Amino acid sequence: MTMDKAIPKLGLGTGGRIGDDGAAAILKAIEIGYRHLDTAQSYNSEDSVGKAVRASGLPRGDFFITTKVADTRLNKAQFLPSVRASLDVIGVDQVDLLLIHWPSHKDAVPFEDYVLALGEAQQKGYARLIGVSNFPIALLERTRALLGPGAIATNQVEIHPYLQAPKLVAYARSIGLTLTAYQPLAKGEIRDDPVLSKIGAAHGVSASAVALAFLMAEGHVVIPSSSSETNLRGNYAALAVSLSEAEMNEIRALNRGYRRINPEKSPRWDD
């Protein structure tokens, strides 16, 4: 049986969506049409995602839910229990996708320990699909060596029009690995970009929708985050945008290697 590794192309990032307000914002996104919900242990939004899914009245099978194991819970004693706890907090028997959020800084936890634990979480049925986040090519290679080709469904990394990560993208394409773009709008910084705004005007959509449509056309999954109904609707409109090759090339020219998320614990990036 071939397992369906298709991740919905447009998802909702839920960092910061905590408490009743957070659940209400996620529920609004569900009402607009979002079904792919991306959370993490470190976001404290797993509870909000679960509440919104239940409040929607839609069946669990309509949703694609992702969560991530925090880099503080990668060791053997904590990894699997933390995933079990996440399932309980969300209120599901299984997530659709489980990611390692960050590799262990300076190998404080042995790489093999947490990558093999990720595979074990899938074997136990805690996750339908597994993947990683913030992994450069070197760590993706090590992951393939441990789990086998095709074992992981995605690598979630910062990608947006100003950081297009050509080396990582080329490698991912060469092995058939989907990249999931977090902060695909560079935290709103692309909103006033003249190139994106001009293209957006031609299509009757926002600059943000153009950025998302571009990234999806490049083969990436995107998980923009917003609690504003206007922005949620504007971002969702990206699904209906089809860009010409000339427009794609204009946006490709915006790449300048501008990385926003680069904490001390970051691995050595490729781009």
Binding residues for substrate: 101
Q: Tokens standing for 11?
A: 């998802």
Report whether 190 contacts 211 (CB < 8 A): yes
3-state SS, residue 39: coil
229-235: list long-range contacts, CB under 8 Å, 24+ apart: 229/28, 229/32, 232/12, 232/28, 232/29, 232/32, 232/34, 233/32, 234/205, 234/206, 234/208, 234/209, 235/10, 235/185, 235/206, 235/208, 235/209
Q: Is 182 a catalytic residue?
A: no
* Binding site members: 101
Of the residues 34, 43, 114, 182, only one is catalytic, namely 43
Report whether 79 contacts 109 (CB < 8 A): no
* Number of CB atoms found within 10 A of residue 47's CB: 17
Cα 62 to Cα 26: distance, rounded to the nearest angstrom: 15
3-state SS, residue 222: strand
Cα 161 to Cα 150: distance, rounded to the nearest angstrom: 27
The residues assigned a catalytic role are 43
